[in-house]
């Protein structure tokens, strides 16, 4: 039996929330102030009909909206949508008792994402399709257009479907093509290929290589192991040109990366030595090296090798010292960080409790925290504040357009 529901707010995962006598009901693709009619099962609304629409509701731009699970907030006007992301950061900080200036959310343009993860499946009719998962489902939605992705990636979808066909050899394989647009064209790393039966056969590897050549890929790799490389894929970090390792981490949107690095550089102006922790291949390292010498550390040996390879491509930089080191198991101590009066850290979603504890014990005057998870950032920020730092400002960054995901840059000073 359907129910009328009043949407009071949008929750942290992007669903509207209606308060009912039986508890909260999560209503996908709805907005605050809307009235909807829906079937309710286990606290979730299904078969949702908008009865009274919010004035903030706009027409989605994607033909796959509502089925594709990638853009859960495409129906929300830009202003309130960006303010909601800012509010998610405020709530996360508030749960740790932290108050600070939170700047307006930095928006990114449409058609700006340089990397996407495309799932591949074979239909019962034998056709290979690429796409994204449906909402709350394992079902694959075939995607022919994507308003958030770089148009050069979208244009390659038909050719990538031919590449994907080679990786569907085993019935248990569920390939995902991690496609990245680089200075040298398209770089594709494939994961999700069944290995217990012996992995991809030699015949299928050759089929994949032929398809990669026909598609003009710069490189094709399987779970980080190169199958063919016509051109070394490279990216720009500041003034440096850095080789991208197969399957290596890279910020999804160049404009978001620039928003992060420019704020980090501005915060450390005047520093004599800077530490860049969880540095990856040097997205922050090279811009920071325009200010002062940089000590860079990351667990990825391949990432550190790529960073070192990029050092010789740029002029006018201060000295860069790079070390491959697992900062979760062996965080840099105050002794290791001696002389660093500025520290930048950009950990994975889990945050960096142990490394943050070591940062708290240094004599650094400024610390810049970059995060893709406001909750773990707030936890780590609490540690720095308790050690005598003040969280001066936080900037939310909307790297993943129309999703519930929010990233941020926070600046701490003693």
Which distant-in-sequence residues (6+ apart) come within 8 Å of 236 by Cβ?
183, 242
∠ at Cα 409 (247, 337), nearest 5°? 80
What is the helix (H) or strand (E) element at residue 80, kind and residue range?
helix 78-94
Q: Would 2-57 and 115-233 be classified into the same CATH topology?
A: yes
| Residue 288 confidence (pLDDT) above 90 | yes
Strand, coil or helix: 357: helix
In degrees to the nearest 10, what's the CA dihedral of 355, 360, 364, 368? Answer: 60
**Catalytic choice (68, 146, 340, 372):** 372
Please give the average per-residue pLDDT across 351-372, as a whole number: 97
Please give the average per-residue pLDDT across 11-35, as a whole number: 97
- Other CB atoms within 10 Å distance of the CB of residue 301: 11
Specify which residues 226 forms β-bridges with: 221
Indicate the domain borders of the chain.
2-57, 82-108+253-413, 115-233
| Residue 44 confidence (pLDDT) above 90 | yes
CATH fourth-level superfamily of 2-57 = Nucleic acid-binding proteins (2.40.50.140)
Give how far Cα 181 sits from Cα of 3, 92, 359, Å.
46, 33, 35
For the entire predicted model, the pTM comes to 0.95
Q: Express each pLDDT in 77-110 by its tens digit.
A: 999 999 999 999 999 999 999 999 999 999 999 9
Q: What is the pLDDT of residue 137?
A: 83
- Other CB atoms within 10 Å distance of the CB of residue 262: 12
| Residue 307 confidence (pLDDT) above 80 | yes
Q: Express each pLDDT in 193-217 by its tens digit.
A: 988 877 899 999 999 999 999 999 9
What is the DSSP secondary-structure string of 121-156? EE-TTS-EEEEEEBTTSS-EEE-S--TTB-HHHHHT
Does the domain at 115-233 match CATH 2.40.50.1070? Answer given as yes
**Residue carrying the six token digits 């089929």:** 207
The band of 236, judged by pLDDT with boundaries at 50, 70 and 90, is very high
372 is catalytic: yes
Q: What is the DSSP letter of 318?
A: P
CATH fourth-level superfamily of 82-108+253-413 = Vaccinia Virus protein VP39 (3.40.50.150)
| Residue 1 confidence (pLDDT) above 80 | no
Do residues 189 and 221 lie in contact, with contact meaning Cβ atoms separated by under 8 Å? yes
């Amino acid at each position: 039996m359907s129910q009328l529901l009043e949407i009071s707010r949008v929750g942290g995962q992007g669903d509207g929330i209606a308060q009912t006598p039986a508890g909260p009901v999560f209503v996908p693709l709805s907005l605050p102030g809307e009235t909807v009619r829906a079937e309710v099962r286990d606290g979730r609304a299904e078969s949702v009909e908008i009865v009274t629409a919010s004035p903030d509701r706009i027409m989605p731009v994607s033909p796959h909206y509502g089925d594709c699970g990638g853009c859960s907030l495409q129906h929300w006007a830009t202003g309130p949508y960006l303010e909601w992301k800012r509010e998610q950061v405020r709530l996360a900080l508030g749960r740790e008792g932290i108050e600070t200036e939170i700047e307006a959310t930095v928006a990114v343009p449409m058609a700006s994402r340089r990397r996407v993860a495309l799932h591949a499946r074979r239909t019962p009719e034998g056709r290979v399709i690429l796409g994204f998962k449906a909402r709350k489902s394992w079902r694959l939605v075939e995607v022919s257009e994507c308003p958030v992705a770089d148009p050069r990636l979208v244009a390659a979808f038909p050719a990538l479907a031919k590449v994907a066909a080679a990786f569907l050899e085993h019935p248990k394989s569920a390939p995902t093509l991690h496609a990245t647009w680089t200075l040298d064209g398209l770089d594709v790393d494939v994961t999700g290929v069944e290995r217990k039966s012996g992995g991809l056969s030699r015949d299928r590897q050759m089929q994949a290589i032929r398809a990669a050549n026909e598609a003009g890929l710069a490189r094709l790799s399987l779970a980080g192991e190169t199958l063919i490389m016509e051109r070394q894929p490279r990216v720009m970090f500041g003034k440096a040109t850095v080789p991208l390792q197969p399957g290596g981490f890279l910020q999804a949107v160049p404009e978001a990366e620039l928003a992060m690095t420019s704020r980090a550089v501005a915060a450390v102006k005047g520093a004599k030595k800077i530490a860049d922790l969880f540095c990856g291949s040097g997205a922050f390292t090279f811009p920071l090296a325009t200010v002062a010498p940089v000590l860079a550390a990351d667990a990825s040996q391949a990432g550190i090798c790529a960073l070192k390879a990029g050092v010789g491509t740029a002029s006018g930089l201060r000295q860069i010292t790079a070390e491959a080191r697992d900062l979760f198991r062996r965080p840099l101590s105050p002794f290791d960080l001696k002389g660093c009066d500025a520290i930048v850290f950009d950990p994975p979603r889990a945050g960096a409790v142990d490394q943050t504890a070591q940062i708290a014990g240094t004599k650094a005057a400024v610390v810049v925290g970059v995060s893709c998870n406001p909750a773990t950032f707030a936890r780590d920020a609490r540690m720095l504040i308790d050690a005598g730092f003040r969280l001066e400002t936080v900037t939310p960054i909307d790297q993943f357009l129309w999703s519930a995901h929010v990233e941020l840059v926070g600046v701490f000073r003693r």
